[in-house]
Amino acid sequence: MELRYCLNQGILERISKILGDTSNGLTGSEISYFLQQCNIKDVTPEITKWKRLYSALASVQNFDKCSNKILRFIQIVLNPARFTDNQIFETKRKAINECLSYVGYELQSNGRFRVVTTAKTISEAQQRANDLLVNLQMRNAHQEIFKYCTTELVDKNYFHAVFEACKGLFARIRQLSLINTDGIRLVEYVFNHPILVINSYKSKQEKDEQKGFEAILEGLCNMFRNPEAHQPKIEWPVSEQDALEILSLISYCHRRLDNAKRVE
């Protein structure tokens, strides 16, 4: 087995605080269980949780002269199957990866480690941890988003991530409405007649809400569906922050469509 780089005191302390956090970290009994699972001695079981973790992890690393058991411990604790709340998992994974980036390791969303280029500065480590895909997962973005643009998100191709997500949104509208057209014509036909309603569509307020939702869809269509056919990609710069906000808006549209009803 390949020996993994040792973690310095600062990194090890930070990891211990993340995993032993008092609000949503490990309980005392969970610490005992997972340390035992990894064959790590619980050297100071009576002290504060994070200090207890630090003592155990530092002790085993000093003895083994490598971080293999520490990485194994992290992998078991942050097994995605343990988490019913994906946001908590992604928040912890992001924080752990910010620490591990200094030694060239990254815990992926599937719970497996991969080797990455070592981060040299704090800002570089934070930048890696704050990538768009992680941020969307932390926001609990609608799963329809990830059906269409995960590859673009991983590649940090923000223009086409937004473009593909928009295509997916309009494809879903076609699927729900059974209307086989696209763009502004689709939006007007489906939500103006209406064929789909996002509420009971009885009061003036509800009809205004429907009209507002239609306007959001038309705005997305005008910005990111129609221009692609006429303008080269370089003329449509989309920053990571822009992409995060636009994809969050598309996620909102999908949530409204979750409860949309077809008018018979």
Q: What is the pLDDT along the chain (264 residues), one digit of tens a residue?
A: 577 878 888 889 999 999 998 777 899 999 999 999 999 999 998 899 999 999 999 999 999 998 899 999 999 999 999 988 877 888 888 889 888 888 888 898 888 888 876 655 656 555 555 567 767 876 778 888 888 877 677 667 788 889 889 999 999 999 999 999 888 999 999 999 899 999 999 999 999 999 999 999 999 988 876 544 444 444 467 888 898 899 999 999 999 999 999 987
Which tokens is 34 given? 């997972």
What pLDDT score was predicted for residue 248?
94
The span from the CA of 38 to the CA of 70, in Å, is 8
Q: Which helix (H) or strand (E) holds 107?
A: strand 105-107
What pLDDT score was predicted for residue 122?
55
pLDDT digits (tens, 9 = 90+) for 87-101: 788 888 888 988 888
Q: Which helix (H) or strand (E) holds 52?
A: helix 49-64
Looking up tokens 């699972």 gives 37
Instruction: Please spell the DSSP secondary structure of 194-259, one letter per residue.
Output: TSEESS---SHHHHHHHHHHHHHHHHHHHHHTSGGGTS-GGGS---HHHHHHHHHHHHHHHHHHHT
Minimal CA–CA distance to 92: which of 178, 30, 26? 26
pLDDT digits (tens, 9 = 90+) for 105-120: 889 888 888 887 665 5
pTM, rounded to two decimals: 0.54
Spell out the domain ranges in the chain. 9-130, 143-262
Cα atoms in the 13 Å half-sphere on the side-chain side of 74:
30
